[in-house]
Amino acid sequence: MDDEWICGRLGEDEPWMLGAVNPPVFENSLFTFATAGELGAAIKDEDERYVYWRGTNPTVDLLQRKLAALERGERAKCFGSGMGAISATISSLVSAGDHVLVLGAIYGPTTQFLRYLEKFGVTHTHAGDLDECDSAIRSSTRLLYFESPSYMRYEVFDIAAVTSWAAGRGLVTVMDNTWSTPIFQKPLTLGVDLVVHSLSKYIGGHSDLVGGAVTGASRLIRPLALTEYQLYGAAMSPHDGAKAIKGLRTLPVRMAAHQERGLAVAAFLESHPAVGVVNHPGLPSHLGHSLAKQQMSGFSSLFSFELDTESREEVAAFLNGLRHFRIGVSWGGFESLVNAPALTVEESVRATMGIPVGLVRLSVGLEAAETLIKDLGLALEGVGRLA
């Protein structure tokens, strides 16, 4: 099964689709049964049967089948947000007294969630590489959590090496694959146990939904679907499920366009005198480039670069000088976005994370690369004038 077929056709030739080119949105909160006995039997198997929207929904189910197939996993479960998927997944794997290892930089709210778990007796340690993991591992460590490429700096980890290290020590691995999407990287095939996604980024693709997913083996997904999914209530709505399915229809083609435009913009920035490092794993100058080429089949268009400045005012002036890039959080949509941690993250947190003042993050959208390059070139002309 190739990815384009999975995105566009998988699960769509079934009788309930009635040949419709887009799946029906089942917007009923509950399903009814002919007899009380049938309802009782369905409730006993709520992970497989349709009873109530907080547990299962046929539109969302179709999305789940497609995501599981794209990641080459047995099952997927979709949530009302990426954080819904991440918090439910981590909670399903740990108990009081357990310890979590975090490898590399991860999305801020995921770290915040791990800190939140401290009140239930679950601790965590951040490690920069496998040597640091060796020193930080404890007898109570259950889980290794990471992103590759990593958050903000886009450091590339050797996924097969990480998972074999973790498996040798009896740890479960969870990886956030939002950056690459399953089109460009399939971590389950490299030994990761569970893959989490924010569907709000490239998979949705149109900045019109918030959603999340976890994919992996049934033996790990089923308990999570019956417990954390039902109890936390972060269910995905069928409307968002249908929008994410629409996003999947164009995902392969959009990712190819994002890759091409992102690389063109990154190469332009790398050659500009007002710019220091460009953190894009698709550039040959990136430390993880050759590893990335081995384990990924392409590159998305979210990356960061350093403006040659120590002034927050100058970073703000650069952002305000852009006409085409819109200033905002999130990423992965059709629209190009810019954001700078020096202007949005608390100063002490930024410094602890080792993020320089001049770091700027771009999400390159689907506009022509020349338009975006011109926009950046004009805004860069102003850098240095305020210093």
Ligand X SMILES: Cc1ncc(COP(=O)(O)O)c(C=O)c1O
User: CA 265 → CA 77, 205, 299, distances in Å?
Assistant: 35, 19, 13
Residues 207, 333 contacting (CB under 8 angstroms)? yes
DSSP of 98-147: -EEEEES---HHHHHHHHHGGGGT-EEEEESSHHHHHHH--TTEEEEEEE
Using the rule CB under 6 A, is 210 a contact of ligand X?
yes
Nearby residues of 65 by Cβ (< 8 Å), 6 or more positions away: 10, 11, 76
* Catalytic residue (one of 66, 75, 186, 201): 201
Other C-beta atoms lying within 10 Å of the C-beta of residue 45 = 10
Please pick, from the candidates 71, 155, 176, 335, the single residue that binds ligand X as defined by CB under 6 A: 176
* Catalytic residue (one of 61, 98, 176, 375): 176
Which of residues 137 and 298 has its CB atom nearest to ligand X in the complex? 298
* Catalytic residue (one of 61, 77, 107, 202): 107
Return d(Cα 235, Cα 53) in angstroms, integer: 8
Which of residues 196 and 379 has its CB atom nearest to ligand X in the complex? 196
Is residue 54 part of the annotated active site? The answer reads yes
Please pick, from the candidates 3, 53, 87, 107, the single residue that binds ligand X as defined by CB under 6 A: 107
**In which order are the strands placed within the sheet that holds 99-103?**
75-79, 212-216, 194-198, 172-176, 141-147, 99-103, 123-127
Return d(Cα 308, Cα 230) in angstroms, integer: 49
Which of residues 141 and 180 has its CB atom nearest to ligand X in the complex? 180
Using the rule CB under 6 A, is 330 a contact of ligand X?
yes
With contacts defined by CB under 6 A, name the span among 19-27, 31-39, 76-84, 278-286 that binds ligand X: 76-84
The distance of closest approach from Cβ of residue 81 to ligand X in the complex, given in angstroms and rounded to an integer, is 4
Is residue 176 part of the annotated active site? The answer reads yes
Using the rule CB under 6 A, is 155 a contact of ligand X?
no
The distance of closest approach from Cβ of residue 19 to ligand X in the complex, given in angstroms and rounded to an integer, is 33
- List interacting residues with ligand X (CB under 6 A): 81-83, 107, 147, 176, 178, 198, 200, 210, 212, 330
Q: Active-site residues: which are they?
A: 54, 107, 176, 201
